[in-house]
Structure 1
Amino acid sequence: MFTFTSCSNSNQDNLKIFPTRSETWVGDPMPYFDGEKFNIFYLEDLRDGDIGFHPWSLFTTKNFYEYEDKGVVIPYSKNTQDQDLALGTGSVVKDNDGLYHAFYTGHNGKKMPKEAVMHATSKDLNEWTKIPEDTFYASSQYEADDFRDPYVIYNEDYNEYWMLVTTRKDKMGVIALYTSNDLKEWKDQGVLLSNDMGSDSNMECPTLIKYGDYWYLSFSDQWPDRVVHYRTAKDSKGPFVIPEQDYFDGNGFYAGRMEKDSENLYMFGWTPTKEMYIDSGKYDWAGNLVVHQLKQKETGELYPVPVEDVVKKFSKGTKLNPLAQTETIEKAKNKYSFSGQDYEVLTFPEISGINKITGKINLSSQNSKFGFMFNVDEENMGDINIVIDSKKNEIQFYNLSTEDIFNKKPQSTMPLEVKEGESLEFTLLIDDSIAVLYVNDEAVLSSRMFSMQDQKWGIFSVDSNIEIEDLKLSK
């Protein structure tokens, strides 16, 4: 067993806020809160060329900055005839006798059907016994090769176990509902939710959870946007309502699953690596674990914020002094005022390790594009950029130079209303090659930047009369 950190060691080298294992990557997370800590099972992307793939591995944490790595807890089969040659997403539930049950996808591309729901049990969440005789396949109304991602809860409202399954019916992505009284025999109860996004996409990695007075159903669209959506309802059977803003993050955050402790609600997902491990590459599958905390409005709508335990841990900020600044930028006390004339920049020393950067951006009448740039060169241009586009009301991530943000498409986007005369309060969390920007408790954008560490970074504006206030960095 490998341990990222011990609770007694406060050295930042032993802390992680966006963890992954050495030389492997985090796929779909399956969080389970046991009353004391979060057990975050996940599909481990080994990328080792083995005939099987994606064992279930496990992180545990009590605070989201110290993680214990338990390694592989449910392995895939080495037998090419077995259904679980590859493991897929599932979930964990505890029965009335204290026994833990894992339900997971068994995938074998050489079999017909390719996918099935499989079962294992454990007394301690670490040692698991597979029960192959409990394996079951899609009911006849569903597409047998798309039958995966079981999510199981005990639904107290109906006094039975519920299982949500990602599948397809009549060439449309659906979330099917199965019920059971004993966690062994499952009855098909039909479709809980059909794709309501205007596409035929599969609705992967569903979650159904009650928080406050509302039920929340979340899922990830497999195409075309690849973001995590959610729906609200007053009853677990629906009807489910689409919120005005129905997703939390861009396509740099996928396969999100909700879980709560005694007080708080969280969303666990992953930020992908990129093809060839270069910044200009396309997003790949699997990466680092990223967790957002979710807050609830009176309307039942949810909004993302940085995990409060992480914010508190890295709370001792120091003022940032730029290495250089454009002559037209004026400094007064804790404020930097950009004139709005052409291209203006503040550049800062090399960034390394875990960082929390906070501040406020005050907006005036003249705004175009402004934001954060990384891996800054000698001409004060960044190779990778997080941009706020006031005309499109978006946060945008560009995996290309600052000079190209007007003539190329961003890799990721997230809606953000930008109003004249208002302020944008931001928290930027950085760990290794992951950067996650939270703005105004309204939006978050997660991104991958391989060339960010040990390089200069900066804040820029293009024809934007903005003011940067209370800029601080915490490590």
Structure 2
Amino acid sequence: MPAFDSPPSEAASYSRPSASQAAADAIPVLIDDTYHIFHLSTPPNTVHHPPRLRSSWSRLRSKDLVSWMRDPLPVLSPSSSESAPDADGAWTGSAVLGPDGTLHIFYTGYNLSQGGKQAILHARSSDQHGTSFNADSEPIRIISPPLNLAAFEDIDFRDAYVFFNEEAGQYWMLVATRLSSGPHWTRGCIALLTSADLEEWSVEPAPLYAPNDMMCPECPELFTLPNGKWYLVYSRFSAPNPGTVYRIADSPRGPFRTPRDGSGGRFDARRWYAAKSCQKAGDSSKRIFFGWIADFNEKDSRWLWGGSLAAPRQVSARVDGSLEISPVEEVLHNKFSLLEGNENNRVAEELNLRSIGQTLATYLPILQKSVQSYVLEFSVSHHDALSFGVLLRTDDDLRGHRIRFEPAADGSYAVSLLTDLPPLDDFWADQYELYLPKNVDGPELARHSSVRLEETIRLVVENDTMELFVGGKSISYRIPPRLNSSETKELGFFVEDGTFQPKQIRLYYKKHGRLGN
């Protein structure tokens, strides 16, 4: 392997390539117990399309998911030729070991001069670790009849995911695309291409997956686990259930069914996006997922493509075949003080919040000014409330964000992330002269239903990002800054009309910062 420059900071070492660049669309592959995490990087100081999406491929490497090294130069960059298929961006794809034992990359080329047409390109390395790559100047060679390819659009034809299907004895390529006919807004599908050698590809005439409920399924992948089930994972930027989702089948050809998990097969929510995975080193029963949390542009109040890579997450199968997601323990242990046994981490063994007929809030003694990164852990001892939960960066008027737990009749819970001041109908807005943006997220930013609270609840906050892990689900979000930040309280609990007893409440602050209260 080549030598690496030492990263200037922790933020630059993993979550972003630099302070002026965003990360997006992770492409992980495990080679000899080394995690190679390719990801897209935006050009410096870009905000919106098209400049921001003229992306390059960057790479991180690690053996333990804790210590990362970043390649000093991009692995792939857009072509300098205006007529090249990748003139305006080297977009998402995949990395795979070929039959020759070397690492191959298949990626999407984007060209604005051709109406935004996308093409799948092939880059080759001389060794299995991808020391350097040489990209072909032309798209992959497709040898199937033209009629097969005509079943799909040629504008959205991207995000190739390539793997060797041992059952079929051939390489499979999944392509995010759209049917060439049908309802315009819902003909997103996944095409299947096959190859014996990664050089010539045949397009199957029928899609592998076409649910007739989305614009385009981005960043797909397909894998099997030791339980014999096959899992199709992709990301959807439109409702219902936007974010990274999964489907289950008994065969790699489907049919792929939506798990009945109360979230439409969604791992997280809209803001943890384009997550893809590789096998966990030494454990074929688990997958390690990498996704990104979107940036928010304060100047025009718009969410952006790309952001910060979230910490790696572990996914495994339950007995019923559904998947559950959790933080990677060794990552949290390294970053925070979870293993130090510091008595100051204990906030309380149990709190008793009681409020009949109204809402009550209480705040935790966290360091408001000096601590911006921490883990909150707690479990639920007892409650008889209409709802209860966590307050995050709220003021005395309870303006801010809250994580709400609403009990259901079957003993499960709906878990949602809420923001303050929902947009008003125009009549009321006129009355109060309160005109708020009507964001697609609305006051309820994310929701999971049918969640069990049998395990410890974890809230991981790092500066302006939050990641909640509860009952095998997660909710991630980037918290926009508030004008009255000096008046906000960092963390607390609330109860609505009843009692709520959180127990074993712990706060773990980031290592090398200030510990304890």
TM-score (norm 1): 0.85
Letter in 2 for 1:233: A
* 1:395–1:445 CA contact under 8 A, matched in 2: no
What is the distance in 2 between the residues matched to 1:2 and 1:429?
Answer: 29
Query: For residues 179 and 211 of structure 1, what CA distance do their matches in structure 2 show?
Result: 21
> For 1:285, which of 282, 305, 325 is the aligned residue?
305
Q: Which of 105, 108, 125 is matched with 1:105 structurally?
A: 108
CA distance in 2, matches of 1:362, 1:305: 21
Q: Does 1:32 align with 2:29?
A: yes
SS of match in other structure, 1:63: coil
Do the aligned residues in 1 keep the contact of 2:247 with 2:259 (CA within 8 Å)?
Answer: yes
Match of 2:156 among 142, 146, 159: 146
Q: Does 1:465 align with 2:482?
A: no
CA separation of 1:15 and 1:145: change in aligned 2, threshold 3 A: closer
Alignment-mate amino acid for residue 26 of structure 2: P
Give the CA deviation at 1:216: 1.0
Q: 1:168: which partner in 2? A: 178
Matched residue, 1:244: 260
Q: Does 1:273 align with 2:295?
A: yes
Separation of aligned partners in 1, 2:388 and 2:208: 39
Which residue is 1:361 aligned to? 380
Task: Please list the CA deviations of residues 9-45 of structure 1 after superposition, one character each: whole Å capped at 9, or x if unmatched.
Answer: xxxx747897112221111111111122211111112
Secondary structure at the counterpart of residue 312 of structure 1 = helix
TM-aligned CA distance change 1:38 to 1:344, over 3 Å:
same
User: CA offset at residue 133 of structure 1?
Assistant: 3.6
Q: CA RMSD in A?
A: 3.1
Q: Counterpart in 1 of 2:69?
A: 68
Counterpart Cα distance in 2 of 1:445 and 1:343: 24
Shift of 1:175: 0.4
- Report the CA distance between 1:380 and its aligned residue: 7.0
Contact 2:13/2:70 (8 A) holds in 1: no
Partner-residue secondary structure (3-state), 1:83 = coil
Which of 113, 117, 122 is the matching residue for 2:120?
A: 117
Give distance in 2, aligned partners of 1:91 and 1:46. Answer: 21
Task: Please identify, of 183-192 and 445-454, the stretch whose mean Cα deviation from structure 2 is larger.
Answer: 445-454
Post-superposition Cα deviations, 1:205-258, rounded to whole Å, max 9, x if no partner, equal: 100112212211111123224311111222212222221121110111111112
Q: Distance in 1 between matches of 2:52 and 2:473?
A: 40
Asked if 1:396 corresponds to 2:406, the answer is no
**Could you tell me which residue of structure 2 aligns to residue 41 of structure 1?**
38
Moved more, 255-264 or 81-90: 255-264
How big is the shift at 1:106?
0.5
- Could you say what secondary structure the match of 2:86 adopts? helix
Letter of the structure 2 residue corresponding to residue 459 of structure 1:
G
For 1:126 and 1:217, how far apart are their aligned partners in 2? 30
| Matched residue, 2:134 | 129
Which of the numbers 300, 303, 324 marks the counterpart of 2:324? Answer: 303
Deviation at 1:125, TM superposition (A): 2.0
Q: Bigger CA drift: 465-474 or 62-71?
A: 62-71
8 Å Cα contact 1:384/1:401 also seen in 2: no
TM-aligned CA distance change 1:16 to 1:385, over 3 Å: farther
Taking the aligned partners of 1:31 and 1:14, their CA distance within structure 2 comes to: 20
**Unpaired runs of at least 5, structure 2:** 143-147, 425-435, 511-517
Tell me how far apart the structure 1 counterparts of residues 278 and 172 of structure 2 sit (CA, whole Å): 16
**1:366-385 → structure 2 map (5 Å cutoff):** 366-374=385-393, 376-377=394-395, 379=396, 381=398, 383-385=400-402
> Could you tell me how far apart the structure 2 residues matched to 1:187 and 1:304 are?
35
Give SS of 2:99's match.
coil
Q: Say which of 454, 462, 475 aligns to 1:445.
A: 475
1:57 aligns with 2:72: no
The 2-side partners of 1:344 and 1:230 are apart by: 37
Q: Which amino acid aligns with 1:83?
A: P
Matched to 1:276, the amino acid is E
Aligned counterpart, 1:436 = 467
Q: Return the alpha-carbon distance in structure 2 between the equivalents of residues 51 and 301 of structure 1.
A: 36
TM-aligned CA deviation for residue 418 of structure 1: 6.4
2:193 and 2:120 mapped to 1: Cα distance?
Answer: 11
Name the count of aligned residue pairs: 448
CA contact (8 A) 1:220 1:228 kept: yes
Which of 353, 361, 364 is the aligned partner of 1:344?
Answer: 361
Q: Given the superposition, is the C-alpha separation of residues 363 and 286 from structure 1 closer, same or farther in structure 2, using an over 3 Å criterion? A: farther
Partner of residue 250 from structure 2, selected from 234, 238, 242 = 234
Rounded to whole Å, the distance in 2 between the matches of 1:200 and 1:104 is 23
Shift of 1:107: 0.7
Mapping of 1:181-220 within 5 angstroms? Answer: 181-196=196-211, 199-212=213-226, 213-220=228-235
Helix, strand or coil for the counterpart of 1:465?
strand
SS of match in other structure, 1:311: helix
Letter in 1 for 2:55: H
> How far does residue 414 in structure 1 lie from its aligned partner after superposition?
2.5
- Taking every aligned residue pair, what percent have the same amino acid on both sides? 24
Aligned to 1:325: none
For 1:357, the aligned partner's letter is L
Q: What do residues 346-402 of structure 1 show as CA deviations (whole Å, max 9, x unaligned)?
A: 23322635422211123422232422312x44x374533333344794332234479
Give distance in 1, aligned partners of 2:115 and 2:267: 36
How much has 1:413 moved relative to structure 2?
Answer: 1.2
Change (3 A) 1:209 1:306: same
Rate the CA distance shift 1:199–1:285 in 2: closer, same or farther, 3 A. same
Q: Which amino acid aligns with 1:99?
A: T
Q: Cα distance, 1:77 vs. partner?
A: 1.2
For the pair 1:412 / 2:464, whether they are aligned, the reply is no
**Structure 1, gaps ≥5 residues long:** 6-12, 323-332
Letter in 1 for 2:217: M
Partner amino acid, structure 2, of 1:417:
S
| Conserved 8 A contact 1:52-1:76 | no
Paired amino acid for 1:156: E
Residues 185, 113 of structure 1: alpha-carbon distance in 2 compared, 3 angstrom cutoff: farther
Supply the distance in 1 between the matched residues of 2:451 and 2:254 (Cα, whole angstroms).
34
Q: Which residue of 2 aligns with 1:87?
A: 90
Query: 1-side partners of 2:218 and 2:297: how far apart?
Result: 22
